[in-house]
């Protein structure tokens, strides 16, 4: 005969004079025990971006104590450049600007500067700006749905810079990576849904006008490539750049050749 489980006691009409203590909050995962992350833990790590999404992604690998110092340089690279080259130049400019502004800081030189830039482009290579009005926002999303069977591309460039312990010129290590992800909008998405999404304002501050990590996912049928690249930072590639910068930095003339 099966043993019956005891039933929960019925709720009391009065407060229990000895309330049951609240259960302990679940503990999060332990930080990644990797040499590169251990070397910069507790030191100045600067994110040269005001993007909350990039900050959240870096927190997933344990970089929670970041200084947020966006670049002050205008983003004036030629948008007629291929998207791959445009994000590379823009992210490199951000990294150099913030690194130069902080290398002689009273806080001490940074252990690491991370910069990134993300663009959305049509299949033909046209770089799409953040929408400037509701009408433009609606038109952009309709274009992404209707053009090239719903496919478009997202590019993110990541640049990491760290000072060298040696006196080798130019005195820093610099590593770069550009990630490409193809995204397909569902061509059955209606104009009504697009308008409803635009009115939420979720995508108003995002390149391409949508956030795949939020409600914007209802517009997307599938992707080909790295998901967090579409969010704004390819995390696995970023970790690899950090390891190259702080564990096995390229020095001297090799840095110039890598630029």
The tens digit of pLDDT for each residue in 5-44 reads 556 665 554 555 565 566 666 677 788 899 999 999 999 9
* Neighbouring C-alpha atoms within 13 Å toward the C-beta of 174: 23
Strands 45-47 and 112-121, sheet pairing: parallel
pTM of the model: 0.84
State the Cα–Cα distance between residues 27 and 31, nearest whole angstrom: 12
Picking from 28, 37, 27, 38, the residue whose alpha carbon sits closest to that of residue 235 is: 37
Residue 256 has pLDDT above 50, yes or no: no
Share of the chain above pLDDT 90, in %: 75
Question: What is the pLDDT, as a whole number, of residue 79?
Answer: 84
Question: What is the pLDDT, as a whole number, of residue 248?
Answer: 83
| Known catalytic residue at 146 | no
Lowest mean pLDDT among 8-22, 71-85, 124-138, 197-211: 8-22
pLDDT (average), residues 104-112: 93
Summarised one tens digit per residue, pLDDT across range 178-228 is 999 999 999 999 999 999 999 999 999 998 999 999 999 999 999 999 999
Selected catalytic residue, list 117, 169, 224, 228:
117
Lowest mean pLDDT among 185-189, 240-244, 246-250: 246-250
Report DSSP letters for 97-164, one per residue.
HHHHHHTT-TT---SEEEEEEEEEE-TT-PEEPPPSSHHHHHHHHHHHHHGGGGEEEEEEEEEEEEE-
52-59 helix and 235-246 helix, angle to the nearest 10 degrees: 70
Residue spans per domain, the chain: 35-258
Answer whether 84's CB lies under 8 Å from 119's CB: no
Residue 139 has pLDDT above 70, yes or no: yes
Residues 6+ apart with CB under 8 A from 36: 239, 242, 243, 245, 246, 247
Domain 35-258 has CATH 3.40.50.20: no
Select the more confidently predicted residue: 248 or 3.
248
The average confidence (pLDDT) of the chain is 89
**Token pair listed for 75:** 């983003």
Question: What is the pLDDT, as a whole number, of residue 30?
Answer: 82
User: How does 212-233 read in b/e, with b if 16+ C-beta sit within 10 Å?
Assistant: bbeebeebbeebeebebbbbbb
Residue 255 has pLDDT above 50, yes or no: no
Residue 114 has pLDDT above 70, yes or no: yes
134-146 helix and 191-200 helix, angle to the nearest 10 degrees: 140
Question: What is the pLDDT, as a whole number, of residue 258?
Answer: 44
């Amino acid at each position: 005969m099966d043993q019956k489980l005891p039933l929960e006691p019925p709720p009391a009409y009065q407060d229990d004079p000895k309330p049951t203590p609240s259960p302990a909050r679940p503990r999060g995962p332990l930080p990644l025990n990797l040499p590169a992350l251990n070397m910069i833990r507790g030191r100045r790590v600067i994110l040269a971006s005001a993007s909350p999404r990039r900050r959240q992604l870096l927190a997933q690998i344990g970089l929670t104590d970041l200084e947020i110092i966006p670049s002050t340089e205008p983003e004036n690279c030629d948008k007629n450049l291929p998207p791959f080259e445009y994000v590379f130049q823009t992210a490199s400019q951000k990294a150099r600007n913030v690194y130069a502004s902080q290398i002689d800081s009273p806080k001490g030189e940074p252990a690491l500067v991370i910069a990134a830039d993300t663009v959305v482009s049509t299949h033909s290579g046209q770089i799409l700006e953040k929408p400037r009005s509701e009408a433009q926002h609606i038109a952009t999303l309709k274009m992404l749905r209707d053009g090239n069977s719903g496919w478009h591309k997202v590019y993110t460039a990541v640049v990491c810079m760290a000072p060298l312990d040696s006196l080798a010129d130019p005195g820093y290590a610099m590593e770069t990576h550009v990630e490409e992800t193809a995204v397909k909008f569902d061509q059955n998405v209606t104009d009504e849904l697009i308008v409803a999404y635009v009115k939420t304002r979720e995508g108003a501050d995002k390149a391409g006008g949508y956030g795949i990590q939020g409600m914007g996912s209802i517009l997307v049928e599938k992707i080909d490539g790295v998901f967090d690249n579409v969010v704004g930072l390819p995390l696995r590639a970023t970790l690899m750049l950090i390891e190259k910068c702080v564990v096995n930095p390229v020095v001297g003339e090799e840095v110039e050749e890598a630029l």
